Structure 1
Amino acid sequence: MSRVAPCFALCMSLVVSLLITGSAAAEPWPAPIRTIEEKGVTIVKQFDAPGGMTGYAARAGSRPISLYLTPDGDHVIVGTLLDADGKNLSKPQLEAAITLPDRENAWPLLEKASWIGDGDDDAPRKIYVFTDPNCPYCHKFYEAARPWVEAGKVQLRHIPVGILKQTSPGKAAALLAADDPEKAMARHEHNYRSGGITPMEDIPSALQQKVAANNLLMSDLGIQGTPGIFYKNDDNKIQVKQGIPQGKLLDRVMGPK
């Protein structure tokens, strides 16, 4: 009995201490930030900001945004902060808190997506491309990539989505359902100007789910148009390009020939 009471008191003391610590750690955001959070914005990280303000890296859907709480704690400014020289002070904070972690987390999600290989499986560079079968810029990128793909330097991994036209989901499903999806993709691209692959009309549920999952992944990763390209640069850092890369940028995306 004499040993139980002190032990009980010690345990209760630890519980109270943990509750106080947890309460401090879970201290709510200031009122203006909570108001924005209640409107569906996700607060990711707090950071120091100039002018006595407190900065917050946040997400509005899949879009990174910066918030700045004024020194009085009663007001919040939403948007980009520039210094006297016009330098964007928000961008590095958003990149460190959201963009770079999101890119690193994206790669395994891309690997698990329903994609179609285009090129040698042993190619040293793998490039994921969100591709709508009706997208003219996707077609141009497919053609521009041929020298690297045919030389065995790059494997494109097309992730078919159905977003541009009424026939897009049916064409995406037809590509994924083909006996040899890579050959089906090649035939589609070779015949792109005459309409490409015939869209599937009665899409089985499993295929509908694959196309829908690709669409959702594209949206979740913040890609707003096709082609949406994910690749690793020479330093093995994940990079993103929306739209067709041209000139020197195409060389950076595709790597050495």
Structure 2
Amino acid sequence: MLYNLYRISDAGREKEKITGATKINCLKNFISVFGTEGLFVFADNCSEGTIKQIKELGIEPVLINLGNAGSFRHIVDFALAKFNDNDQVYLVEDDYWHLPASKQALLEGLEIADYVTLYDHSDKYVSFSKKGGNPYVTNNSEKSRVFLSHTCHWKISNSTSMTFATRLSVLKADKEVMWRFTQQNIPEDFGMFLILTRQSPFPLYKAKVFRHLFKLSLKYLFNATLKKRVLITALPGLSTHIENAYLSPHTDWEIIIQKFDENQPK
């Protein structure tokens, strides 16, 4: 069984996003693709207006006031308390847009890897030496392997955001690492997945901004109890972060979202 744990909040940092990609529209889009079966919506620090809009979609949200990292920890504990080891969970943030094939692809991806993301990070194609943000990206790419499922191709990747799918058994085993990288209000998703996928720490040493992760990586490198995980990304992306600077490549997200927004009752 696939369960979708969706976090929505009125708080957050200001970002330049695609017009029409409001948080409520992102939720409406998600429901149109994944449906409401197995869906839990966690409204974190939301106004009465936002809560009313969620309820108008036929959903009774779980009301919390925990912040970004706190709400992530909450949904992890929620999943571990309610679901079985064989169940699958998609942990979703409120600023992602999904294409119609997303659900089927996600289920296929979970047959291949431990962690699955539908978001193809555009910064994975910009070398770190050319002001890209990922020290594992050289020659405008990352070292990878490519898989094929019925719906799309997948590539192995070194990291993703806090929107990802996995199995409960994996979530349970990796909770300790996740807690280490959610101690601050903004989760350190990059470091978390570097540890989970057991990346070589040496690119971090060369990048001064990541020296703190280098030392931490060395600690986990010799942790025999930590299993190396595989993270895969859909190619091309079937979902995107709605921030203009980081859209999944090769899809006209602006047109897709504009048409969706135009069809919403005003």
TM-score category of the 2 structures, normalised to the smaller one = under 0.3
Q: Which has the higher contact order (CA 8 A, sep 6+)?
A: 2
Larger Rg: 1
Q: TM-score, normalised by structure 2?
A: 0.23
More helix by share: 1
Q: TM-score, normalised by structure 1?
A: 0.24
